[in-house]
Structure 1
Amino acid sequence: MNVKINVMNIESTKLELMHLLLQTQKESLLAKLKKVFEEEQTDWWYDLSEQEQKDIEIGLSQADNKDYIDDHEAMKRFKKWN
């Protein structure tokens, strides 16, 4: 029940903010709000662990060096295991 109330509060707040946003003509306020949203956006890369980042970098390096098998070959190998 607590989660439901919290979701309702969030939705209510969003509706209230949308109403205020639609009513304002202040460019400075709109610019500040836009900046807040931009600052709150985070790149998913930084949510990854160091090991996950390393693994991705290794995979990208392998792909750049054409050190991979295509998906058709991978599926053939997978089917052999079943």
Structure 2
Amino acid sequence: MAALNIEKEKLEIIKWVTNLKDNTAIERLRMLRTHPRKADWWNEITEEEKLAIDAGIADIKAGRVKPHKEAKKLYEKWL
């Protein structure tokens, strides 16, 4: 978007916000301003971590998993 178009959009949004009567919309806008979204964690992890997650998902899909009870019993001496 060109700089001029962005400024025009901002002005239109300002007009729209000043005419809002809906408290829910205003609250959502406030939350957006005070709590901006963080980057997706998937883009923040290493390639090695992504491969490990993908391998775990493949194991689940292939049925290569143990119930929590079995895993807990197997590792109870370390827990």
Q: TM-score, normalised by structure 2?
A: 0.51
Identify unmatched segments of 5+ residues in structure 2: 1-12, 18-28
1:79 aligns with 2:76: yes
Question: Which residue, 43, 48, 51 being the options, matches 2:45?
Answer: 48
Letter in 2 for 1:51: E
- Aligned residue pairs, count: 53
Q: Report sequence identity in percent.
A: 26
Q: Which residue of the partner structure matches residue 69 of structure 1?
A: 66
Q: How does 1:1-82 map to 2 (within 5 A)?
A: 25-27=14-16, 41-80=38-77
**Aligned-pair CA distance for 1:78:** 1.1
Q: TM-score, normalised by structure 1?
A: 0.49
Q: After superposition, what is the alpha-carbon deviation per residue over 1:13-41, rounded to whole angstroms, capped at 9, x for unaligned?
A: xxxxxxxxxxx85238xxxxx7xx7xx64
Letter in 2 for 1:65: A
**RMSD between superposed Cα atoms in Å:** 3.4
